[in-house]
C-alpha cells in the first residue's frame, strides 16, 4: 500500500500536533489511508470510532518505535514497525470489543486493517523512526485526530444525504427521500472528491489573494 511519495518535510516552525491535524492533513492534503476513508465513512459514528481507534494505535506505537529507534537496524526497520503497529491494533481490537460490541460489529474487518493503512506506516518511517518520543507521540496524535476529522467530514456528508440522519438522529422531515447512493461505495468517492475540490479551491483562492497583495 505504500506508494513512492516525496518524503514529507517537517519545517522547524510547524508544531508536530498542528501539522497533522491541519497543515498536512493525512486525508485532505497527503491523501493517505484511502481504504478506511472510503470504506468506513457511511455514518458519523463509524467514522469517529475508526478515527479514534487509528489515533490510539498511532500514539501508542509511535511512542514505542521512537523509544527504540536507535536500536533498530536499518534493514529490519519496516518489519519492526509493522510488528509494533500490529500489536497496537490487536490491543485496540480487544479494547473496542470490551467497550462496545455494536461499535465493534460496525467497524468489523476494518480494525485489523489499520495495520495496512499506509498512513500508520508512513508516519512511522517519516517521523517516529527519527524523532524523540514526545514529538513522535504528538505527531501521532495530530495525524490521528486529523484523520478522524477528515473521516468525520466525509461521514457527515454521507450520513446526512444518504440516510437523512446525523449520529442516528433524523435531520430532515419524514418526506425526505434518502440518497442511498451516498451510503454505497460510489458515494464515498463522490464525497471525497467534493471535499478535495473544496480544499483545492480554498488553497487556490489563498494563493491568488497572496499574489494580489504582493503586486499592490
The nearer residue to other proteins, 21 or 137, going by C-beta atoms, is 137
| Nearest distance in Å: CB 201, other proteins | 29
Q: Is 163 in the site for other proteins (CB under 8 A)?
A: yes
- CB count in 10 Å sphere of residue 7: 9
Least spacing, CB of residue 194 vs other proteins, in Å = 19
Q: According to CB under 8 A, which one of 15, 23, 97, 202 is a site residue for other proteins?
A: 97
The reply to whether 86 sits near other proteins by the rule CB under 8 A is yes
Residue 216 as a binder of other proteins (CB under 8 A): the answer is no
Least distance to other proteins, CB of residue 32, Å: 19
Q: How far apart are CA 107 and CA 50, in angstroms?
A: 7
User: Contacts for 9-16 with beta carbons within 8 Å, 24 or more apart?
Assistant: 10/127, 15/138, 15/142, 16/127, 16/131, 16/135, 16/136, 16/138, 16/139, 16/142
59: nearest Cα among 140, 145, 131: 140
Nearest to 144 by CA among 128, 167, 165: 128
Residue from 1, 95, 206, 209 binding other proteins (CB under 8 A):
95
Residue 68 in contact with other proteins, rule: CB under 8 A: yes
Question: Closest Cα to residue 30, out of 147, 176, 125?
Answer: 147
Tell me whether strands 169-170 and 165-166 are parallel, antiparallel or unpaired. Answer: antiparallel
Binding-residue pattern over the window 119 to 148 for other proteins, x denoting contact by CB under 8 A: ------x---xx------------------
Q: Which residues bind other proteins (CB under 8 A)?
A: 42, 68-80, 83-84, 86-87, 90-91, 94-95, 97-98, 100-102, 105, 108, 125, 129-130, 162-163, 178, 180, 183-184
Amino acid at each position: 500500500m505504500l506508494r513512492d511519495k516525496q518524503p514529507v518535510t517537517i519545517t522547524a516552525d510547524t508544531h508536530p500536533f498542528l501539522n497533522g491535524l491541519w497543515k498536512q492533513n493525512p486525508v485532505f492534503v497527503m491523501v493517505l489511508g484511502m481504504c478506511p476513508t472510503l470504506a468506513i465513512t457511511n455514518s458519523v459514528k463509524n467514522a469517529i470510532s475508526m478515527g479514534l481507534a487509528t489515533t490510539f494505535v498511532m500514539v501508542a506505537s509511535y511512542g514505542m518505535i521512537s523509544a527504540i529507534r536507535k536500536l533498530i537496524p536499518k534493514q529490519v526497520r519496516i518489519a519492526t514497525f509493522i510488528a509494533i503497529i500490529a500489536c497496537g491494533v490487536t490491543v485496540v481490537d480487544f479494547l473496542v470489543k470490551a467497550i462496545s460490541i455494536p461499535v465493534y460489529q460496525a467497524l468489523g474487518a476494518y480494525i485489523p486493517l489499520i495495520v495496512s493503512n499506509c498512513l500508520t506506516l508512513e508516519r512511522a518511517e517519516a517521523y517516529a523512526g527519527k524523532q524523540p518520543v514526545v514529538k513522535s507521540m504528538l505527531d501521532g496524535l495530530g495525524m490521528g485526530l486529523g484523520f478522524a476529522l477528515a473521516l468525520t467530514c466525509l461521514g457527515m456528508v454521507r450520513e446526512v444525504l444518504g440516510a437523512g440522519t446525523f449520529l442516528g438522529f433524523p435531520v430532515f422531515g419524514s418526506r425526505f427521500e434518502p440518497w442511498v447512493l451516498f451510503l454505497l461505495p460510489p458515494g464515498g468517492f463522490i464525497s471525497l472528491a467534493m471535499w478535495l475540490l473544496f480544499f483545492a479551491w480554498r488553497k487556490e483562492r489563498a494563493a491568488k489573494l497572496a499574489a494580489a497583495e504582493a503586486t499592490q
